[in-house]
A = this chain, B = another copy of it.
Amino acid sequence: MNDGEFVKEIASKDEAFSRWYTDVVKKADLADYTMVKGCMVIKPYGYSLWENMKQCLDDKIKATGHKNAYFPLFIPESLLVREAEHVEGFAPEVAWVTHGGEQKLEERLAVRPTSEAIIGSLYSKWVHSWRDLPILINQWANIVRWEKVTRPFLRTTEFLWQEGHTAHKNEQEAEEETLKILLEVYKEYIEKDLAIPVLVGKKSNNEKFAGAVHTYTLEALMGDGKILQAGTSHNLGQNFARAFDIRFLDENQEEQYAWTTSWGTSTRLVGGIIMVHGDERGLKLPPKVAPIQVVIVPILFDKTKEEVLNKARELERILSDKFRVELDDRDEYTPGWKFNEWEMKGVPVRLEIGPRDMAQNQVMAVRRDKGNKTVVKESELITTLSKWMEDIQNNLYLTAKTRLQENIRFTDNYNDFKDIIEEQKGFIKTYWCGNPECEDSIKKDTKATIRCLAEESDKKGKCIYCGKDSSFPVYFGRAY
């Protein structure tokens, strides 16, 4: 095989985005299909990316006063049905356990599609007085929602996520929590660590979480103009507290229902990273979460092989204190092949070192985001790489931010709306009267949904569909 072949095997990003996506997932060794319908395996390289993402988010969740815990995988049917909207929303996706060992169970158990029900039943046990509140708990767990199609990371029957579940003594605290997670935890994580810019806002009633009072969301633009819901934060009001009987005595010794919230992000965001930053040569990973930040490829000739390898090992040792480093000393591949493979895997910086570089105490360094080669003196390597890691992180974010801004289009004309959603895609900012029937009709016509409400302004407009006066500026888009 020649060196270019490695990359040629993936589909064109511009012409066949969906195939490009699955090709990159496989070629970069992130995940694989399995014989279990709808279920993927996250391979070591993909899982290492997820571990770094988890660490970034977990730090932020803990820094805002939340603690991790672990709740049962199984939810008895009688518990799941207690909140009516909730069960209606999730029942079509539930996997049911009916037998344990050789016995048929008296009651079916749902494999958790989300944990409000089981956690609510425990908070009901744990909360008695206002002194027990707030409860601020997060869980890292696997989730099952039945799917017929598998799209690795984007749509799988089983996926990994974190779900926060909090209980508060009044409405205001619950709303503050919902917004804190949205803005101080999720937005920071997604924009700063994953370099993915987002629009944030409330969901319409049609699109909110089943059982919530309202849902806030973070919405990101993907490379094909479609939109990915990147995370959600739900104010559940007293709905779940009533359904699961979470009551407490307040400071005045009066009994009240608690106010609860829940919020989640998942392995879907791995898909987001691929689709926001990737290009024709494969992945481009933000340094903060990249499993390997610097790869060293020695250029080996028979005569100087040992010296160059020793130098490469020395560099690996020195750089490992500050960066996640891999030395690619495989014998069976050419340097060209290796360059292509590490570009496919999105490693932020590649260092090449051969006998001539060595003689001059320098290395050849290549940034994955820019592609051009730079000579770097060994003595300046750590300083340069530290600076580059920040630069690359910022550059990925700013590139995506510019593309996001260029792809928010305003229109108040429905024909233009339909043209834009078909041709350029992206976000369309427009007005909506608040009537779910208009929302449904637009979805039927165009496959576009309200991704989120925009911040309200004094300016009023007319509903893009029915023409009625509207005070709801909204963002539409076609979603994953």
What residues make up the interface of A, taking CB atoms closer than 8 Å to B? 32, 34-36, 39-44, 46-48, 50-51, 67-76, 79, 91-102, 108-109, 111, 118, 121-122, 125-126, 131, 137, 141-142, 144, 146, 157-158, 160, 332
Secondary structure at the A interface, as helix, strand, loop or mixed, is mixed
Interface pair B44/A68, CB less than 8 Å apart: yes
State whether A76 and B35 are in contact (beta carbons under 8 Å apart), knowing that A44-B69, A95-B97 are contacts in the complex: yes
Is B96 within 8 A of A99, CB to CB?
Answer: yes
A73–B146 contact, CB under 8 A?
A: no
Interface centre among A50, A75, A111 (most CB of B within 10 A): A111
Tell me which residues across on chain B come within 8 A of A70, comparing CB atoms: 41-42, 47, 50, 160
Contact of A32 among B46, B96, B98, B122 (CB under 8 A): B122
CB <8 Å contact, A35 and B121: yes
- A-B contact list, 29 entries, CB within 8 Å: A34-B71, A34-B121, A34-B122, A35-B79, A35-B121, A36-B118, A39-B73, A39-B74, A41-B70, A41-B71, A43-B69, A44-B67, A44-B69, A47-B70, A48-B67, A73-B111, A73-B142, A73-B144, A74-B95, A93-B101, A94-B100, A94-B101, A95-B100, A95-B109, A96-B97, A96-B98, A100-B146, A100-B157, A101-B146
Question: Is B47 a contact of A67 with CB atoms below 8 Å?
Answer: yes
Distance of A287 from chain B, by nearest CB (Å): 20
Minimum CB distance partner of A51 in chain B: B68
Minimum C-beta distance from A108 to chain B (A): 8
For A38, the closest partner residue in chain B by CB is B100
Are A72 and B41 interface neighbours, CB within 8 A? yes
Which residues of chain B have C-beta atoms less than 8 A from A92's C-beta?
101-102
A70 to B40, CA, bound (A): 9
Q: Please, how many angstroms separate the alpha-carbon atoms of A93 and B36 in the complex?
A: 20
Could you say which residues of chain B place their CB within 8 Å of the CB of A131?
Answer: 332
Question: What is the distance, in angstroms, from A118's C-beta to the closest C-beta of chain B?
Answer: 7
Interface centre among A32, A51, A74, A99 (most CB of B within 10 A): A74
Contacts of A102 in B (CB 8 A): 91-92
Question: Are B39 and A72 in contact (CB-based, < 8 A)?
Answer: yes
Which residues of B have CB within 8 Å of A98? 96-99
